[in-house]
Structure formats: structure tokens, C-alpha cells
Chains A and B, each alone.
Chain A
Amino acid sequence: MQALFYDIADYIIRNLRKDETALLSFEGERSEFVRFNHAKVRQAGSVAQHDLGLDLVRGRRHAETSFALSGEAASDRARVDAVLADLRGRLEFLPEDPHLLYATEVHSTERVGTDELAPAEEAAAAVLAEADGRDAVGIYAQGPIYRGFANSLGQRNWFSTHTFNLEWCFYLRDDKAVKSDYAGFRWDRAELKSRMTQAAGQLALLDRPPMTIPPGKYRVYLAPNAVVEIASILNWGGFGLKDHKAKISSLVRMTEGEATMNRAITMRENTREGIAPNFDQVGFVKPDAVVLIENGRFKQHLVSPRSAKEYNVPANGAPVYEACTSFDMSAGDIPAVEVLSRLDTGLYINNLWYLNYSDRPACRITGMTRFATFWVEKGQFAAPLNVMRFDESIYRMLGTNLIGLTQERTMSLSSETYGGRQVASNRVPGALVEEFALTL
């Protein structure tokens, strides 16, 4: 795949005119997907895709496009010829772009992953065998993922990884389920069995009459998977410089000095310890880490190259949509084994679902509990809870009402596959919160 990208990049660069610069980005994957329901296969298939982004620059003018490569040299070169002609035509009338910024210092990198995956059918058969007899539903995905960058200044960046990602639920009845995952780089049947056994064991806790509680304010423990959902919504317009300047960021009150979070809260984009490539689509190499919130106070924005140019600040490796791909939240001081006793009486929330802003400037968020959520009494699991809606401000949840974070953190690999399999991760602790508002 690296050869496919570099060959087409070389071809494009050879065909540039003297006053032209080309910025080329590449995304590809060969994926196997097995979707299952009731521990039987619903759909199974393979997808091979490779897309090339081409930004043709002439002075301050540029024109960009992206297109699917067929992987066949003659066909792809013919397509490139047509694309170059189209972009050159556009450059004749497009205005100069005042926010154009791309890397001009050459910084080549290469990170090639090793393939330790099992054959897809073997892994899928193992999943079905281990789940046999359970009401199991979910998806298994695996295969190589590729990212690349090249420019006509001589820079080359390549990233490949071979991952698998199994995400599933064991259902007991109705909406009572335990959600689990097993993702990584080296497939291990024994580890799969261990995780499925552990998940099946948790079902016993759900096999009690469910409770419904009235709306009100409750003490809650948000397990790491629930905290990931909160991190994800903050990552939607919370950290980017452009959103802050446009006053539409959900964290604008922090940068305006009107709000803080608890001193225990430190959040960063931690590229060095994540799984994502460390280069962007215009050739900049990302810093190891960008501290976003430190000890409860806003520290740095995520700054894309376009925002850097627009607002005259340094870029820090953010993509154009200015969101994290390697989110990292610092640990706290509550040992995981003490969570139930420290919660005492309240809700143990494993998963949250469908979060959205109910008042974006106030960073107030609504969403639902989902899957295994329990009522805890005097430090003991008492009963599974029927789903509840919450509507709560981040400044209370992770601010005045935060009791503490767990010492242990969970690293989760993104299972998102919109457009393609994502290379992103979250590392977060659990959070103990009081006065958490449940509304419906």
C-alpha cells in the first residue's frame, strides 16, 4: 500500500509545473467486518478502500480534491491527469486564500505496524463459539489501516497499523445488557475467552428485578466508558481555537474566565501515548502532547494550520476540525476497589448514551444511561436500574460536584467506522460525582 501511495505521489510530483506545490494525503484500509446478532452472523464482508487527497498550491492560491484510487496504475494515472487539469482550471479564478498554511520544512517519518492478526474467519469463528448460547450482538472488525502524507518539497510520512476491534453486548432480557470490548494488535483466543467469561459473569448482577428511580439529584459513579462519552461530547467543539474565537465553543466560559473545573481535572491530546499517526494532512508533525485543561483551568486550544494562520498563533497539530484523536485525562486518587464504598448509596453507571448539549454556552449536557446501570446501597450492588435521562453542567459534574477520579485509567481504542475504521483512542479514569441531575 505504501508503494501504491508513493508511486502515485511520484507521478503527480513529476507532472507539476515549476510554480506548483502538491500536498498529498492518503487514507486506506483493508477491512473484514462480521456483524452478529443472537450469536449468529447477520452480515459478513470485506472492504478495500484507498483515497487520495490532493491540494495543488500556486502562490497563495490553491485548489484541493480527494478521490478513490482504484489501485491500478494506469487507471489511477489517467484519473490524476484529469484531476490536475481540473484543479489548474480552478486556480485560474479562485482568490488567494489568506488562511493557507502548510509545512515547508521537510520532516519525514515512518511507522510500520506488524501484522499479528488471526485470519478473519478464524477470529470470527472464535467469537461465535465463545458467545454460543448467549444473546450476543455486536461487530468484529480487523485488518490493516494506512495513512500517508507526501509533498513536492520532498517530505514523506507513512503510518500503518494492523488492528482488531470486537465490541459486543451480552443481553439478559429487554434492554438489560453488559457491553464489552476486546481490541488491540495481537489476537489472543485465551484473552477473548477471559473477557467473554467476565462479561457473562456480570450478567448475574442484572438478573434481579429492575428499579425505577424518580428524577432528582443523585450521587453517581461514572465508569471509564461513561467518562469516554463525556470526553467525546467535549471533543465536539470544546477545545478548538476556531470555535472559541467564534464564541460557539462549549467551553467558552472557561476561556472568558467565568468558569473552571475541579483542580483534579487535567485533559490533554496525548499523541505520544496514543495510537494515531503523528502527522497531519498538510505535513506538520504533531507535538507529543497538548495540554488542554490543567488543574481545572483552560490551558491551550487545539489549533489547526488554518486557524493558526487566521488567528496568528502557532499550530499544534490539530486537524481542520480541531478535535482530539488521542484524548487523555489524568488519574485521581480513588482506588478502583474503593469505588463502591466511596459511592455508598447512589448510581453505578457503566455506560452513557446519545449525549448532546442542552445549553452549549453553559456546557450543559443531556444524555441517557444505557446497558448495565445499577442502584448501589451502602456500598453493595442492589438492583439494575431502568434507563434515566440526565441533564447536567460540566462545570458541576467535573467541577463543584466532583468528588474524585479513580487511580486506574482505561485505554479504549475507537470502534468508530464512519467512512472507515478510525485510528483514535481515549484514556480516562472513572469519576465519582455528587448532586448529578436526573430529569426523566
Chain B
Amino acid sequence: MLTGLKERVHEILPRDGFWSLRAEHERNEVVRVRQNVLQPIQTTEDRGAMVTCMRGGGIGYAAVSSLSVESLRKAAARAGEWARFTAGRAVFDFSKIVMPHPRGNYETPAEKPWESASLQEKIALAVRQCARLKTDPRIVDFEAMLWYTKTTSLYLTNEGGEVQQTLHRLLPFLKVTASEGARAQTRSLGAQSHCRQGGLEVLDSVGFATVGPTLAAEALELLGAPNCPSDKMDLLLEADQMHLQIHESIGHPLEMDRILGDERNYAGTSFVKPEFFGTFRYGSDLLNIVFDPTDPRAFASCGFDDDGTPAAKQYLIERGILKRGLGGTISQARSGLPGVSNSRANSWRRPPIDRMGNINLEPGRSTMEQMIAAVERGIYMKANNSWSIDDSRNKFQFGCEYGRLIENGKLTAVVRNPNYRGISQNFWNSLKMVGDASTVQCLGAANCGKGEPNQFMRVGHVTPAALFANVDVFGGD
């Protein structure tokens, strides 16, 4: 589909200034079975390209769904017009930025490629797993889903840059709701956080074919459970809540475009200031956060970002101290601060901005049993179902599907509607134990919203479970 472009790129991109062409072909396939009824198979096929121009200090882009040379030349002309308009009116003299002209290839390794099973086999699998969720008359809604995405991109520049990447992503999902009267409780497979790169082997690693009855049993258990108590107590977060905690209160505040103010009208700013880097104590000594686009399993892995910077692992926070932010080539030039390879666009229809990639908490040394045993009075929570945080990423409140009290070092009563709230820096400084490798899960989010114009982005979070001290916990009405 993208063949022929690289041979003719010199006919499309002018020589003066920096020019790039980012062509993409993406195919989505969603198999979903709800209440034992196969929903319409959703397939989408998207293709198009964006031409970007930096010339005379200005910047411009133009995106079109036609990949003909004639259309792309018109797009280049339009991008050039925008660059001319913005020259002298831009937030930065873009002529000062040295953009890379990379060469390379990357493809997600997949042990069992998605295409190795027929659509009929995938439908049959989803039908079977959906049926296993209906274990009781009080189960009123239940569904199973497989969402596969294949993205092929070709990035070309006017000075010989040429990167081809193919990413295979899979998001398996199960959800079950139990109800009596107006009361309802839902359990799901990680609240859609079990998203990874790879092939059908992902299904085995997340328990897609085995975990359904357990989710149904937990939904029924929650239905009869007491409301979560309100108190300050220790909080043990499972990996499928930790990923959200990291995403909202570390990932977003470290995005350089927020720190530079670009997002203040929409997604928000950040409590992190440029002068924080190198000295600011973000959390306890146990907090080690990395930007790692090199883990082949993780949802946002790649070989290069969408401005052509090679992917590389970097420490963002080391032993609790803030080291660097999430800024791509352009944000690094604007801020004068070190960054990472995180200029990313969600499709050919949108320009790259600073996004998360994979933001991971490195494992500690504690087993889950050791963390539970260390709690005199606390609560264990898993599977995010509510998220809210202020626009500078300080005051947060999160909720989970499932809670269980911890008393005198043991898990005791299950509680429904568990929520907690806090302030980012205080919370991460209350981190008192980090789970070891046995508690680590490879997770992510398929629809992180940000940017003007808006973009939904796929991000990854590989994280262990972790224990926090003295957190404000509460329940529902």
C-alpha cells in the first residue's frame, strides 16, 4: 500500500528547509459478543499521509487521504503556505531545530500472528468466553471482545530519512455486570488495560480464556458486599490500578508541552516546572520511573517516534528524584531540557505532539504476600473504573471495581465502590513498598485524550503492584 512513495519522494518534498512525509495504513478489526449475540464485526481501514514543512522559521502541515504523487504535492504546497504564514508568528524559530533524517525498520514480534487464526475461529473464541460469564440469573450484562490493530507507517524526509514500521496491537476484554434492583456491580478484565503489542499469544498471557468465571463470581460478590469504609489507611494497588495512577499523576505532568503551556486551553498544565528537573523529589526512594519504548510487548513500543527520533529507554525519575521530562525533538529545542523519543501522532490526520509512550514503574523487591503482611489496617484495590485529576495534575480521585480490606496483615472483607483521593507529590512520597517481578503486568490505555485538534493515543504502562501509606479512602453513596 505504501510502496512506490519512497522512490518518488523527491517529486513531492522540496529541498529547502525541512520536509517530511508520514504515510500510514491502519486496519482495525473488532470481534465483540454481547449477551451471547455476535455484534457486527467492526473493521476499519484507514490510509493517508501528512506532509510537514519547517522553513523560514515557520511550521506547517497538510494531511490528505490520497497517496497519489499529485495529491501529496498539493499537500506539500499547502504545508508550505502554512509555514510561510507562521514564520515570524510562531512560538519558536523552527529553523533552529535540527530534525533527524533517520533510516531503519521496526516490526512488532508476534509468535502467533493475528492472521494465523481465521475470523471464524476468533468469533468462536469470543462466543465461548462470553457464554462463560453468564453464571447466575443476576448476571444482567456480559461481553467478550477482541480488538486488533495493524499499523504500517512510512516516514520519509527530504534528506534521505526513511523509516518503515509495522505495529501489531491487541486488546482483549471481558466485562460482566451483576444486578439486583437498582444496585449493579461490574467486573472486567483490567478495565481495558490489558492491551499489548504482539499476536494471539497475548490472549494466553492475560488469561482471556480462563478468567471469565472469576470475574463473574467477583461481580456477584461485590453485589452483596458492604460499601467501602471512609478512613485514612494503607492502600495496596494492583497493577491494573497502578497503571492509571502512573498515567495520570506522573505521565501527564511530565509532558513537556504541558510544561511549556501548549495544553493550557484543553488538557491542562503541570505542577512540574522546568527548574524541577534534576532536583525535585517526586516520590520516595522506591520510585523509579522509565520511558521505555523498547519493550516489544508494550502497547506504545516502536523503533522511532513520529518525528524520526530513534526509540531509547530513559529514566524519568530515579530513586524518587525527577530526572527528565517527556519532550520530543521540538520540545527539547524549545525548553532547552533533555527529553525522550515521544513525538507521536495518533494517525496521519494529526501532527505529532508530546505523548507518553510506555511509562513504567520498575519493580521492587516485595512479593504481594509481603506487602499484604505489612499492612495493619488497609485496603487492596484493583481494576480502575473512575479517574479524575485537576488540570495541573495534582488533586486526583480514582475509583476501582473491586476492594478488599486488609486487617492485621491479612485480606478480609470484600467492599464495593472503593475510591481514594490525594495529591500527586504527597501520594508518591507515601510509596512504601513496590512489588517484585511476580506482581508486574504489561498494561496500557487505548484512548488517552489530549491535543488541539484532539487525538486519542495508545500508551503503555508496565508496572508492579505497590503499597502506599495513610491514604484517604472512601466508598459510594
Contacts and interface: CB of A to CB of B under 8 A. Distances in A.
Q: A and B bound?
A: yes
A322 B475 CA distance: 29
Q: From B82, B85, B119, B387, name the one whose CB has the most chain A CB atoms within 10 angstroms.
A: B82
A44 B60 contact: yes
B120 A63 contact: no
A294 interface: no
Contacts of A128: 89
B265 A370 contact: no
Given A46-B62, A389-B397, A175 B391 contact: yes
B231 to A, nearest CB: 15
Contact of A45 (B60, B66, B455): B60
A419 B64 CA distance: 14
Contacts of B68: 70, 72, 75
A42 B90 CA distance: 6
B61 A37 contact: no
Contacts of B421: 389, 439-440
Interface string B177-208: 10101111010000000000000000000000
A364 interface: yes
Given A42-B91, A64-B41, A252-B184, A359 B264 contact: no
A358 B65 contact: no
A274 to B, nearest CB: 21
A353 B265 CA distance: 11
B279 interface: no
Nearest to B228: A359
B388 interface: yes
Contact of B65 (A38, A41, A68, A138): A68
A353 B395 CA distance: 12
Contacts of B456: 418-419
A98 B63 CA distance: 40
A47 B350 CA distance: 8
Contacts of A38: 91, 261
A49 interface: yes
A198 to B, nearest CB: 17
Q: From A43, A50, A95, A366, name the one whose CB has the most chain B CB atoms within 10 angstroms.
A: A43
Interface string B411-424: 00000010101010
Contact of A50 (B42, B65, B120, B261): B65
Contacts of A370: 390-391
A83 B33 CA distance: 23
Interface in B37-68: 37-38, 40-48, 50, 58-68
Contact of B41 (A36, A90, A175): A90
A167 B60 CA distance: 20
B388 A141 contact: no
B303 to A, nearest CB: 24
B452 interface: yes
Contacts of B58: 41
Given A67-B46, A387-B395, A247 B179 contact: yes
Nearest to B59: A43
A365 to B, nearest CB: 9
A62 B261 CA distance: 48
B21 to A, nearest CB: 14
B260 interface: yes
B388 A366 contact: yes
Contacts of B350: 47
A359 B476 contact: yes
Interface residues of B, number: 81
Given A35-B262, A50-B65, A354-B390, A94 B41 contact: yes
B165 interface: no
A191 interface: no
B184 A354 contact: no
A210 interface: no
B66 to A, nearest CB: 4
A252 B184 CA distance: 9
Contacts of A71: 65-66, 71
A159 to B, nearest CB: 20
Interface in B79-133: 79, 81-82, 85-86, 89-91, 119-120
B454 A417 contact: yes
B45 A47 contact: no
A46 B61 contact: yes
Contact of B476 (A55, A95, A253, A364): A364
A204 interface: no
A168 B349 contact: no
B140 interface: yes
Contact of A44 (B86, B184, B476): B86
Given A70-B68, A137-B264, A368-B391, A248 B177 contact: yes
Contacts of A45: 50, 60-63, 78-79, 82, 351
A70 B454 CA distance: 22
A13 interface: no
Interface string A383-396: 00001010101000
A416 interface: yes
Nearest to A353: B391
A179 interface: yes
A383 B212 CA distance: 53
A51 B119 CA distance: 24
Given A253-B182, A440-B421, A43 B89 contact: no
Interface of A: 31, 33, 35-38, 40-51, 55, 62-72, 75, 83, 90, 93-95, 97-99, 121, 124-125, 128, 137-139, 141, 167-169, 171, 175, 177, 179, 245-248, 252-253, 256, 258, 353-362, 364, 366-368, 370, 387, 389, 391, 393, 416-421, 439-440
Given A41-B90, A137-B264, 19 more contacts: A35-B452, A44-B61, A45-B351, A68-B45, A68-B47, A70-B65, A71-B66, A99-B37, A357-B386, A358-B419, A361-B182, A368-B391, A368-B395, A387-B390, A389-B395, A439-B421, A440-B395, A440-B421, A440-B472
13 contacts: A44-B59, A44-B86, A49-B65, A50-B65, A65-B43, A68-B46, A97-B40, A128-B89, A253-B182, A354-B388, A358-B476, A389-B421, A440-B395
Q: Which 10 A-B pairs have the closest CB atoms?
A: A359-B476, A45-B61, A246-B141, A362-B477, A247-B179, A417-B453, A139-B452, A70-B66, A247-B184, A256-B182
